[in-house]
Structure 1
Amino acid sequence: MTPELFKYLLVGGYALLVYGLSIIGMRRTDSVQGFSIGNKDMSPVVVGITLAASIASTATFVINPGFVYQHGLSAYLHFGVAGSLGITAAFLVLTRGFLRLGETHKALTIPQWIFYRYNHRGFSLFFAFINLLSVTFVVLILVGCSLLVTGLFPVDQKTALVGVLLFVFSYVLMGGTYAHAYTNTLQGIMMLLVTVLLFVLGVKYFEGDFLGSLARVSADYASAFNEDSSLYFDFFSVFVSGFVVTFALMLQPHILTKVLYLRSERDIGWFIGTTVVVGALFTLMLMIGFYARLAGLEIDSQDTVVRDYLLHEFGTSVWGEYLLVFIFVTLLAAGMSTLDGILVSLSAMVVTDIVKPFAREGGSDGLALSRWVLVGVGVIGLALAWNPPPLIGLFAQKGVYGLAAASLVPVLFGVLVRRHIPLWVVLGAAAIGLVLHLLFNLALGVENPAISATYGILASLAFGLMGLLVTRPISAYGVRPESDLTP
């Protein structure tokens, strides 16, 4: 069997398997709830793998290794260490309380959860609209996947864009959450195999001396704080912003709503454990940035580092061509594993939180409309990805980090604070987080969106804590009542 024939057979087999899983999902999807969060009959291990694959995505597997290639150890510590700690902390702090409140009110989306927690339709609608910023991440994934397809097939990037879009949207349209979860489990296992394989095969470039090999590139490249970098140059930009913004990113609708897939609180331990372990292994993909640099590759476009490294490493031998096909298909799966999650959450959110509150009573449950919304999101994503900006990673971060900055205080306080929280506290905090992020990043020259978002988050948190303090209920005896205590 020639490598060319193997390529088409593998891609065709993968597509058929994904469609088969989607058909299974379609048979189990007969309502908006089933489309959005399933019917609460999935294993916590399956949900954990689904979530880890959604978090990793094209950013970790295709785009972020380019930052490591360009900026060195500081970028790896930012994404791989500080980011992993932020993910772990977020789920340890938020999972139980978010699931408990979501179960009580049968919430399907983050804005609906916000509505039940704060009992204000306008605030919920505000969250629904700012969650549309997730479309910037859709653009990142479409561009990243299209770059991989051009390395796999002799097609131009625009043709690849359309092909990726049609494939992912077709299987998500059928099965919703079940298609997303089942295919993500398959894709997550493939991603684990390829991550370990690429890590092991590339270790040779360190020549037994990790820091020494990086120092041979430059002292700044091997430094935890790269003074030559405009993005990762001190403790705040590397560790603080990496931890804070990743913690907040776990509040994205396609991530935190995975908690609502769980059957009960008894599943939380397995869910968090699976997510953390699998997610930590996925960060080894960032090493490709080091490998490409140490291999001496001169790559003009940071976004193509992974593609160019793989072609260099495996494209010159027959066995390498076979392996290259499997790796490219797996990296495509990494992108699709996040893209389908975003699509499901965005379509469910638009129907549940924007359309249905203003629709007449007694209408359909919105399943058909959820699918039409998917089509609309696809058209918008394709339009934005058609002529993508340089450094697509920074473009996506501007949008999703703004969403993170606005979400942290309302969700965090909603989970941890039992008493009534006045609307002005959380609304003001959300507005401060979003506006300051955009102000610092777009107007005041803060190039790293993680830094501008962290400034916004810290200011938002300070405002929220001050609001809690001044609205703190006092009993007749001058002490806090029991209902004011956090869990």
Structure 2
Amino acid sequence: MSPDLFKYLLSAAYVALVFWLSWIGMRRTRDIRGFSIGNKDMSPYLIGITLAASIASTATFVINPGFVYSHGLSAYIHYGLAGSLGILAAFLVLTRGFLRLGESSRALTIPQWILYRYNHRGLSLFFAFINLLSITFVVLILVGCSLLLTGLFPVEQKTALVLVLVFVFAYVLMGGTYAHAYTNTLQGLMMLGITVILFVQGWKYFDGDPLMALRTINEDYGAAFNRGSDLYFDFFSVFVSGFVVTFALMLQPHILTKVLYLRSERDIGKFIGTTVVVGTVFTLMLMIGFYARLAGLEVPAQDTVVREYLLHEFGSSVWGEYVLVLIFLTLLAAGMSTLDGILVSLSAMVVNDIVQPLLGPTGNGLLLSRLVLVLVGLVAVALAWNPPPLIGLFAQKGVYGLAAASIVPILFGVLLRRHIPLWVVLGAALLGLFGHLGLNLTGLVKNPAVSASYAIFLALGFGLLGLLLTRGSVATANIPAAALDNSTVVE
């Protein structure tokens, strides 16, 4: 069998398998609740793999290795070590309380959770609109997947962009959350296998001493803090911002709402353990940035480092072409595993938290969610049609702003039993969002993780001050009693 025939047959088999899983998901999706968070009948291990695949996605598998290629060990510590610790901390702190309140209120989305916690429709609407910033990450994934598809098939990038969108939208429209979870499990297992293979295959470039090999590029490249980098140059920009912003990123709708898929609190340990183990393995993909640099590749476009490295390593032999097909399909799956989750959460959020509150009951919510999904896709393609040079930084501007705005309302809402005044929550959210955008978009802080971390600390400081000033008027929040029993309480 020729490599070309193998490529098309394997791709067709993958597409068929994904649509079969989506069809199974469609049979289990009967209403807007099932489309949004499922019917509470999924294994915590399956949900853990689904979440790990959603967190990793195109950023870890395609875009972030380019930062490692350009900035060295400091970028690896930022995304790999600090980011992994931020993920673990977020789920240990937030999962139990968020699940309790979500269960008692039967929330489907983050804005709906905000509504039940703070009992204010305007605040819920505000969060619904700023959650639309997630579309910047959709753009990143579409661009990353289109770059991979051009390495696999003889198509132009814009054609590849449309093909990726049509494929993902088709299977998500069918099954919603079930399609997302089932296909993510398949894609997550593929990602695990390819990550280990690529990590082992490229280890030869370290020649037995990774740190010494990196220092052969230059001393700064192999240093924890790269003095020559404009992004990762000190302890705050490398470690603190990586930890803080990743912790906050776990508050994104397509990530934190996975907690609501769980059947009960008994599943939390299995869920977190699976997510952390699988996610830690995925961070090994960042090593490709080192391998590409040590292999002597000159890659002018940072976002294409992974594609160029794979073509360099596997594109010159017949057996390599077979392997390349498997790898490219898996990397495409990595992007789709997050894209489908964001699309499901965005469409459910627009219907539940924007359309219905503003326009009233709309009849068939499931049909409307699917129509909104199409609209989101069209907007994303328009933004991705002529992407900025560094798509990773573009996406970070949007999603990090969302993370900075969400940290106080969700963190305080989970950990505190007391009533939190609206002005404290809204003020902290506004400081987080506009503090990050102001610092970053004006050029005062180039690294979006650093500007977001500054904004998060500012928002937390404002929130704590607000709590201190209103301590004398403490009252129990309007939270269902079941959500408060045995929960972590900070007075």
Check whether the contact 2:169–2:340 (CA below 8 A) recurs between aligned residues. yes
Q: Give runs of ≥4 in structure 1 deviating > 4 Å.
A: 482-485
**2:471 aligns to what SS in structure 1?**
coil
Deviation of the 1:204 alpha carbon: 0.2
Structure 2 partner of 1:99: 99
Whole-angstrom CA distance in 2 between matches of 1:293 and 1:414 = 45
Q: Work out whether 1:54 is the aligned partner of 2:54.
A: yes
Does the residue aligned with 1:4 lie in a helix, a strand or coil? Answer: helix
Residues 194 and 327 of structure 1 are in contact (CA less than 8 Å); yes or no, is this contact kept in structure 2? yes
Instruction: Report if aligned partners of 1:419, 1:483 keep a CA contact under 8 Å in 2.
Output: no
Of 479, 486, 490 in structure 2, the residue corresponding to residue 486 of structure 1 is 490
Could you tell me how far 1:473 is from its partner in structure 2?
Answer: 3.3
**2:360 match: secondary structure:** coil
- CA shift at 1:444, angstroms? 4.1
How far apart, CA to CA, are the structure 2 residues paired with 1:483 and 1:135?
33
TM-aligned CA deviation for residue 360 of structure 1: 3.3
Contact 2:128/2:354, CA 8 A, preserved across alignment:
yes
Is residue 431–residue 459 contact of structure 2 (8 Å, CA) maintained in 1? yes
**Structure 2: how far apart are the matches of 1:35 and 1:94?**
24
2:33 aligns to what?
Answer: 33
1:119-160 deviations in whole A, cap 9, x for unaligned?
Answer: 000000000000000000000000000000000001110000
Equivalent-residue separation in structure 2 for 1:485 and 1:13 (angstroms): 51
Match for residue 270 of structure 2?
270
- Shift of residue 443, structure 1, vs aligned partner: 1.1
Q: Aligned letter for 1:393? A: G
The 3-state SS of whatever aligns with 1:383 is helix
Q: Secondary structure at the match of 2:251?
A: coil
Aligned residues: 480
Aligned to 2:332: 332
Aligned letter for 1:292?
A: A
Equivalent residue number for residue 309 of structure 1: 309
- Structure 2 counterpart of 1:486, which letter? V
**What CA deviation, in whole Å up to 9, does each residue of 1:245-292 have, x standing for no partner?**
000000000000000000000000000000000000000000000000
- Give the corresponding residue for 1:455: 454
Q: Take 1:473 and 1:301, find their aligned partners in 2: how far apart are those partners?
A: 57
2:480 matched residue in structure 1 = none
Q: Match for 1:24: what amino acid? A: I
Q: Is the Cα–Cα contact under 8 Å of residues 406 and 432 in structure 1 kept in the other structure?
A: yes
Which residue matches 1:397? Answer: 396
Deviation at 1:169, TM superposition (A): 0.3
One-letter identity of the residue aligned with 1:73: L
CA contact (8 A) 1:82 1:239 kept: yes
Q: Structure 1 residue 472: deviation in Å?
A: 1.0
| 2: CA distance, partners of 1:97 / 1:106 | 14
Aligned to 2:21: 21
Counterpart-to-counterpart distance in 1, 2:488 and 2:55: 34
Counterparts of 1:53-452 in structure 2, within 5 Å, are 53-361=53-361, 363-452=362-451
In structure 2, list runs of 5 or more residues that go unmatched.
475-485
Q: Residue 210 of structure 1: CA displacement?
A: 0.5
Question: Partner residue of 1:478?
Answer: none
Report the AA paired with residue 199 of structure 1.
F
> CA separation in 1, counterparts of 2:124 and 2:364?
19
Q: Deviations over 1:199-252 (max 9, x none)?
A: 000000000011000000000000000000000000000000000000000000
Give the C-alpha shift of residue 483 in structure 1: 11
Q: CA deviation at 1:378?
A: 0.4
Contact 2:408 2:425 in 1 (8 A): yes
Give the alignment's TM-score, normalised by structure 2: 0.96
Identity of aligned residues (%): 77
Q: Please tell me whether the aligned partners of residues 432 and 456 of structure 1 are also in contact (alpha carbons under 8 angstroms).
A: yes
How far does residue 364 in structure 1 lie from its aligned partner after superposition? 2.1
**Aligned-partner SS, 1:289:** helix
Q: Deviations over 1:82-123 (max 9, x none)?
A: 000000000000000000000000000000000000000000
Give the Cα–Cα distance (whole angstroms) in 2 for the partners of residues 376 and 364 of structure 1. 19
Q: Does the 8 Å CA contact 1:473/1:484 hold for their aligned counterparts?
A: no
Q: Tell me the TM-score normalised to structure 1 length.
A: 0.97
Aligned partner of residue 57 in structure 1, secondary structure: helix
Query: What SS does structure 2 have at the residue aligned with 1:132?
Result: helix
- Partners in 1 of 2:124 and 2:97 — Cα distance? 19
Deviation of residue 485 (structure 1)?
4.4
CA displacement at 1:445 relative to structure 2? 2.5
Aligned-residue offset at 1:357: 1.3
Question: Would you say the 8 A contact 2:128–2:350 is kept in 1?
Answer: yes
- Mapped to 1, the partners of 2:352 and 2:53 lie a distance apart of 25
Q: Which runs of 5+ in 1 are unaligned?
A: 476-481
Change in Cα spacing, 1:394 to 1:97, as seen in structure 2 (3 Å) is same
Question: Structure 2 CA distance, aligned partners of 1:220 and 1:486?
Answer: 43
In the alignment, is the contact (CA less than 8 A) between 2:232 and 2:238 conserved in 1? yes
Q: Is contact 2:415–2:488 with CA below 8 Å preserved after alignment?
A: no
The Cα of 1:486 is off from its aligned counterpart by 2.4
8 Å CA contact retained: 1:419, 1:484: no
**Which amino acid in structure 1 is aligned with residue 419 of structure 2?**
H
Rounded Cα–Cα distance in structure 2 between residues aligned with 1:423 and 1:126: 12
Q: CA RMSD in A?
A: 1.3
**3-state SS, counterpart of residue 473 of structure 1:** helix
Cα pair 2:97 2:488 within 8 Å, conserved:
no
Cα pair 1:66 1:302 within 8 Å, conserved: yes
